[in-house]
Amino acid sequence: MSYKYIVIGGSAGSFQTVTSILAALPKTFNMPIFLCLHRLKHVRSGFVEALSIKSNINVVEPSDKEVVRQRNAYLAPANYHMYFELGNYISLSTEPAVNHSRPSIDISFASAAYAYKSKLIGILLSGANGDGAYGMKQVKENGGLTIVQDPEECQVKTMTSAAIKATQIDHILTSDQIVDFLVNLKK
């Protein structure tokens, strides 16, 4: 097992889980984390700050063509899709919404899967639409590890259920278990 990158997707009901993951990971956690989270269209600022409050890890909205560095969490900016390119950098795009979403989880997960292959862990959390199912399938097909939050625990389980239907999921975990899993990853 040599995972080096983590991509997390979430929508309605995922904010709390993302916050607890960021709060639990130590400052020394050295895998980059990519966050693709749906947010209300008019909520354009303040999200980084909200996620940063309890986080030990630096949370940033990346610039286009920004090189990916360890010990950073990259939050897809509001109204941009976030892609990962070969060469370990991020590119942004304002093309139309996918699955009614921009950022789209499918776009971020599928391009991360292609760029990072078996070094990638894809984690899908609570959410109210089908975005992310195709992306999780891509993570699996490219040799990455797939984790979904237990639908029974999700505030809205549409998203995780769709992913479970779409592809093989390696672990179905509660948010506490997801936190434990990540904290123990790098021992």
- Active-site amino acid positions: 11, 38, 131
CB atoms within 10 A of CB 152: 9
Whether 176 contacts 23, CB under 8 Å:
no
Query: In whole angstroms, how close is the CB of 86 to other proteins at the nearest point?
Result: 8
In angstroms, give the least distance from the CB of 171 to other proteins.
26
**DSSP codes of every residue in 59-71:** EEPPPTTPBP-TT
Which residues lie near other proteins (CB under 8 A)? Answer: 41-42, 44, 61-66, 77, 80-81, 83-86, 91-96, 107, 111
Do you know the residue count of the chain? 187
CB 55 within 8 A of CB 24: no
DSSP states of 101-143 as a string? BSS-HHHHHHHHHHHHGGGEEEEE---SSSTTHHHHHHHHHTT
Number of Cβ atoms within 10 Å of the Cβ of 93:
14
Minimum CB separation of residue 76 from other proteins in Å reads 10
Least distance to other proteins from the beta carbon of 77, Å?
A: 5
Structural element, H or E, at residue 20: helix 15-24
